[in-house]
Amino acid sequence: MKKAILFLMLSFGFMTFAQKSETYTPEFSSVTNVPNYGIIKAKMKLDDVVTKADTAPEFPGGTETFKRQFAEKMDVIDVKSNKINTRVYFIVEKNGYVRYVTATGDDKKHSQAAEIAVRRMFVRWKPATINGEPVRYLYTFPLTLKKY
C-alpha cells in the first residue's frame, strides 16, 4: 500500500500542503472569511471556531510527520483529470482531537479519499491557544495533484 501511494505521488504529481501560523487578531479570525464557507457551514459546527490564534495547533512530530502520515492513509484513487484541487477542513478541538472533517474540490472521489485519510489518523493534536487558553481551531490545507 505504501509503495502504491509513493508510486502515485511520483507518477501523477506533487502533493502540496500549507498551513500558516499567524498571530491572532479578532477582526481577521472570523471563520466566515474562509473559502467555501457556505459548504463547510452546512457540514460543521462552527460555534466559537477561530482561524487564527496565538499558537496554531500542532500535530505530534510536526507538520512533516502529519504530511507523511496523511499520504500513508490516503487511498489510491483513479484520477481522470490532469489537475485536482482539493481543500481539506477540520476542527482541532480544545482537547486536541479532530472533528468535523470535510473536503471540497472538483473531484468528489479525491475529496472523499482526503476526508477518510484524516479520519484514519487517530492522533491527539496540541490544541491552538489564545492568551494561553485552548480554543477550537479550523485547520485547513490545500491538497493538489498534477499529472505531468
Would you call 49 helix, strand, or coil by DSSP?
strand
Which pLDDT band, with edges at 50, 70 and 90, does 131 fall under?
Answer: very high
Look up residue 126 and give its three cell numbers: 496540541
Query: 89 to each of 2, 10, 56, 119, 132, how far by Cα in Å?
Result: 24, 25, 14, 11, 24
66 φ/ψ angles, rounded to the nearest 5 degrees: -60, -45
**Model pTM score:** 0.72
pLDDT at 105: 84
Average per-residue pLDDT for the chain = 75
- Strand pairing of 128-130 and 133-146? antiparallel
Q: Cα–Cα distance between 106 and 46 in angstroms, integer?
A: 24
- Is the model's pLDDT at 16 over the cut of 50? no
Express each pLDDT in 25-77 by its tens digit: 444 355 666 676 777 777 877 888 888 899 999 999 998 998 888 888 887 76
Which pLDDT band, with edges at 50, 70 and 90, does 2 fall under?
Answer: very low
107 φ/ψ angles, rounded to the nearest 5 degrees: -100, 110
pLDDT at 29: 53
- Is the model's pLDDT at 11 over the cut of 50? no
- Is the model's pLDDT at 141 over the cut of 60? yes
